[in-house]
């Protein structure tokens, strides 16, 4: 029967073992967590235990430095019923059947312990029960407190594991706070009375050292203070080195004459307070929460990024906050929030480090070797440029001026996962490459070339505009800037606004002593932005090209010439600029070719190509806004310009009195013809119609020279 009753009582006690909040200031992961256990409370007394536990927490947190840092604590209680009320008192041979088997000291009836102890090893392990309940209900318990329902004052530190105190109301606040000094801060008793067998281990507030330089709390000792420090009225409030501590009357020293670790009713001294504050910060860090939660952030350089911290504020003094970027403090950024501005990483692709330093400037601490009063939180901010699927076309040109070997065309195809393939073209030779862009849209590598060194290539998606690629390429003999744009038009959802027909002239620059004529081209752009170009240069070289127009209206023109030994290169812009609908600086390179009929010494010509939109006239309509025309020829060895008078007839036919033969191609806006030059010789001419200026421009050739021709109204 007795066994059945005991089992029933144990089940009842277990059912009552649950966690109840007293004070919850934040997550258990960043607080010093107090758990109060009931000892010597019967089932009928557990409601009183809830009141006693709350009072105990309030009394504890009323003491400094706990009061200043009360936000740093959480507190709960766990009610567990005992069969009998109170605690055992061996001095009076009184034994109580309680859950944790607490017992007063057999001699002083003041020290309260729980097994295992030296006084009654026959009792069940009370500390084991505390540990088991903590593990089950609050595994993050930092300060277990055993509240003993007894009217006799008393307590202990449970061998530095559990703070124990009787509920006797007068002494409980002081005894409990004293015992937490042992458990939280590992503080030592500063009692001067002798206790045999007490281990000679120094605590933060006890020492055997009398050399001022080696005293662990010397930062608190005012200059001129005698060491050891005499006991008198002038030293009562001074931190020094007072003899009598650690259960020794001499040879052991304490920091202050009176302290809660030696005399109830006094506050913790400066040294003990410092130790407890540092112990608090070892459990609860200054930064309570952060945003963003991840410490590596990937953002677009076009976006600003907000950062924030929530801090654990002491009661009377604010924590100091300082934001930093790349380890450098930002003037004025001392709030709990910080915004990394957009475009911070626009000039480079390196990651940025954003940090916040939160520091407690408390005067309660002078020694902080582990820097517990400060916390540094850092985020690594990586710029992200999302790869996009598309095709890019562009040019590269020597940074020291356009040269044949250091200039060319660049094409690139990318996928959404950053894979790419492309081609470099220099003259008639094409070099292919493939690879993978990194997370921020960069690529680098070597483009191999047969029988010579490779080409080093670096490019990246523009963080401002992923429809644009920029970079550089180089070889041992030259380096070039690279620029390319994505074809954004598909002809269905997006129509190229430049679609239509155009005519273009390519003039010579002023370096030529006489006119050599205008090269020309007929250009078409379809609704998908694809460009087709065909034309002729003043030396009679025919040229064709296929390319694409960018969303900004830029056309990367590159045409290899003379078997790849020369080229024509330009960024042509489609834009309404005065009388021109398109134009751009153009570079024509022709090497020395001794067998060439025209300009065998070569040509390096930099001029400005310009042109106009061309709309074929309706059937039967005139191409020009004039009928009487002048065909002007200049250069090609002519002593002076020659003007031929022509008549523009129906269906754009041309007649003359001196056998000039001209044919207009009204669908393409081009013309060709011949002009007699005496002695059975003729000048061969060709060109394009410029409708914006109502004229025709091009070149004509003689035996080995070319010249300028112009077809205008009279």
The CATH number for 8's domain is: 3.40.390.10
Binned at pLDDT 50, 70 and 90, residue 24 comes out as: very high
The DSSP call for residue 111 is: B
Q: Residue 501's closest CA among 689, 711, 713? A: 689
In a domain, 621, yes or no: yes
Given a cut of 90, whether residue 568 has pLDDT beyond it is yes
**654/547 same-domain check:** yes
pLDDT of residue 606: 84
**667/531 same-domain check:** yes
In a domain, 272, yes or no: no
The total of structural domains in the chain comes to: 4
What is the distance between the terminal CA atoms of the chain, rounded to a whole angstrom?
134
**27/127 same-domain check:** yes
**436/514 same-domain check:** no
Q: Residue 587's closest CA among 549, 546, 558, 550? A: 558
pLDDT of residue 159: 77
CA atoms within 13 A on the CB side of 259: 28
In a domain, 279, yes or no: no
CA 592 vs CA 427, 563, 601: distances in Å:
15, 13, 4
**136/36 same-domain check:** yes
pLDDT of residue 337: 98
Q: Which of 339, 367, 383 is the last residue of a domain?
A: 383
**59/108 same-domain check:** yes
Domain that holds residue 324: 285-383
Given a cut of 90, whether residue 514 has pLDDT beyond it is no
Given a cut of 90, whether residue 217 has pLDDT beyond it is yes
Given a cut of 90, whether residue 621 has pLDDT beyond it is no
Q: Which of 434, 460, 486 is the last residue of a domain?
A: 486
CA 678, 684, 689: angle at the middle one, nearest 5?
Answer: 130
Given a cut of 70, whether residue 117 has pLDDT beyond it is no
pLDDT of residue 349: 55
**3-class SS at 184?**
helix
**373/465 same-domain check:** no
**347/476 same-domain check:** no
Please tell me the distance from the alpha carbon of residue 272 to that of residue 265, in angstroms, as a whole number: 15
CATH number assigned to the domain comprising residue 452: 2.40.128.120
pLDDT of residue 351: 80
**45/93 same-domain check:** yes
**330/410 same-domain check:** no
Given a cut of 50, whether residue 451 has pLDDT beyond it is yes
φ, ψ of residue 469 in degrees (nearest 5): -120, 135
Q: Which helix (H) or strand (E) holds 281?
A: helix 270-283
What phi-psi label fits residue 595: left (phi over 0), alpha (psi between -120 and 50 degrees) or beta? Answer: alpha
Binned at pLDDT 50, 70 and 90, residue 209 comes out as: very high
pLDDT of residue 198: 82
608-631 per-residue burial string, b: 16 or more CB within 10 A, e: under 16 = ebbbbbbeebeeeeebbeeeebeb
67-87 pLDDT, tens digit each: 999 999 999 999 999 999 999
Please tell me the distance from the alpha carbon of residue 269 to that of residue 76, in angstroms, as a whole number: 28
Lowest-confidence pick of 68-72, 165-169, 335-339, 381-385? 381-385
Q: Which of 383, 401, 429 is the last residue of a domain?
A: 383
φ, ψ of residue 578 in degrees (nearest 5): 65, -125
In a domain, 34, yes or no: yes
In a domain, 195, yes or no: no
Q: Estimate to the nearest angstrom the gap between the alpha carbon of 386 and the chain centroid.
A: 14
**541/576 same-domain check:** yes
In a domain, 298, yes or no: yes
**379/421 same-domain check:** no
Mean pLDDT of the chain, nearest integer? 90
In a domain, 249, yes or no: no
150-164 pLDDT, tens digit each: 999 999 998 779 999
Given a cut of 80, whether residue 7 has pLDDT beyond it is no
Residues 6+ apart with CB under 8 A from 25: 31, 70, 71, 72, 73, 74
In a domain, 588, yes or no: yes
CATH number assigned to the domain comprising residue 325: 2.60.40.10
Please tell me the distance from the alpha carbon of residue 709 to that of residue 686, in angstroms, as a whole number: 9
């Amino acid at each position: 029967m007795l066994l059945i009753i005991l089992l029933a009582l144990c089940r009842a006690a277990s059912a009552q073992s649950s966690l109840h909040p007293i004070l919850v200031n934040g997550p258990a992961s960043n607080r010093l967590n107090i758990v109060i256990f009931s000892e010597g409370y019967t089932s009928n007394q557990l409601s009183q235990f809830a009141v006693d536990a709350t009072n105990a927490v309030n009394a504890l947190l009323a003491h400094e430095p706990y009061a200043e840092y009360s936000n740093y604590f959480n507190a709960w209680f766990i009610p567990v019923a005992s069969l009998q009320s109170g605690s055992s008192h061996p001095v009076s041979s009184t034994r109580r059947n309680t859950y944790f088997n607490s017992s007063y000291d057999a001699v002083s009836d003041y020290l309260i312990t729980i097994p295992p102890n030296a006084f009654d090893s026959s009792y069940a392990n009370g500390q084991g029960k505390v540990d088991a309940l903590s593990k089950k209900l609050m595994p993050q318990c930092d300060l277990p407190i055993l509240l003993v329902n007894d009217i006799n004052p008393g307590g202990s530190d449970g061998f530095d594991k559990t703070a124990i105190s009787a509920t006797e109301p007068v002494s409980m606040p002081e005894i409990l706070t004293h015992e937490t000094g042992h458990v939280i801060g590992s503080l030592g008793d500063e009692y001067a009375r002798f206790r045999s067998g007490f281990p000679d281990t120094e605590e933060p507030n006890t020492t055997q050292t009398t050399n001022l330089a080696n005293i662990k709390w010397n930062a608190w000792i005012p200059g001129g203070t005698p060491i050891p420090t005499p006991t008198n009225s002038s030293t009562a409030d001074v931190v020094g080195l007072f003899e009598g501590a650690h259960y020794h009357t001499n040879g052991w020293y304490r920091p202050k004459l009176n302290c809660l670790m030696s005399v109830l009713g006094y506050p913790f001294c400066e040294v003990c307070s410092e130790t407890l504050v540092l112990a608090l910060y070892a459990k609860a860090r200054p930064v309570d929460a952060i945003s963003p939660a991840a410490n590596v952030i990937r953002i677009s350089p076009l976006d600003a990024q907000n950062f924030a911290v929530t801090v654990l504020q002491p009661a009377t003094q604010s924590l100091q906050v300082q934001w930093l970027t790349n380890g450098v403090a930002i003037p004025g950024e001392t709030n709990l929030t910080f915004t990394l501005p957009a475009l911070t990483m626009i000039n480079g692709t390196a990651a940025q480090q954003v940090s916040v330093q939160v520091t407690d400037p408390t005067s309660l601490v002078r020694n902080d070797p582990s820097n517990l009063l400060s916390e540094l939180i850092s985020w690594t901010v990586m710029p992200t440029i999302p790869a996009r699927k598309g095709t890019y076309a562009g040019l590269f040109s020597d940074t020291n001026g356009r040269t044949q070997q250091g200039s060319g065309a660049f094409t690139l195809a990318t996928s959404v996962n950053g894979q790419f393939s492309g081609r470099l073209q220099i003259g008639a030779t094409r070099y292919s490459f493939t690879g993978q862009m990194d997370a921020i849209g960069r690529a680098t590598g070597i483009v191999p070339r047969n029988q010579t060194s490779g080409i080093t290539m670096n490019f990246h998606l523009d963080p401002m505009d992923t429809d644009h690629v920029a970079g550089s390429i180089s070889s041992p003999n030259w380096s070039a800037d690279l620029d390319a744009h994505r074809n954004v038009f598909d002809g269905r959802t997006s129509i190229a606004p430049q679609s239509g027909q155009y005519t273009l002239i390519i003039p010579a620059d002023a370096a030529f002593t006489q006119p050599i004529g205008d090269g020309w081209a007929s250009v078409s752009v379809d609704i998908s932005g694809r460009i087709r170009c065909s034309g002729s240069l003043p030396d009679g070289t025919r040229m064709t090209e296929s390319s694409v127009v960018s969303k900004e209206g830029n056309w990367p023109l590159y045409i290899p010439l003379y078997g790849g030994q020369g080229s024509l290169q330009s960024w042509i812009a489609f834009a309404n600029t005065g009388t021109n609908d398109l134009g751009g600086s153009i570079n024509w390179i022709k090497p020395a070719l001794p067998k060439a009929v025209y300009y065998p010494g070569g040509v390096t010509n930099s001029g400005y190509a310009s042109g106009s939109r061309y709309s074929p006239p309706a059937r039967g309509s005139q191409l020009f806004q004039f009928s009487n025309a002048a065909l002007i020829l200049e250069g090609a060895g002519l002593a002076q310009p020659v003007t031929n008078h022509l008549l523009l007839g129906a269906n754009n036919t041309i007649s003359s009195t001196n056998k000039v033969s001209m044919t207009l191609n009204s669908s393409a806006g081009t013309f060709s013809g011949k002009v007699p030059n005496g002695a059975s010789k003729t000048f061969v001419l060709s060109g394009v119609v410029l409708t914006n200026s109502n004229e025709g421009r091009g070149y004509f050739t003689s035996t080995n020279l070319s010249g300028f021709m112009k077809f205008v109204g009279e």
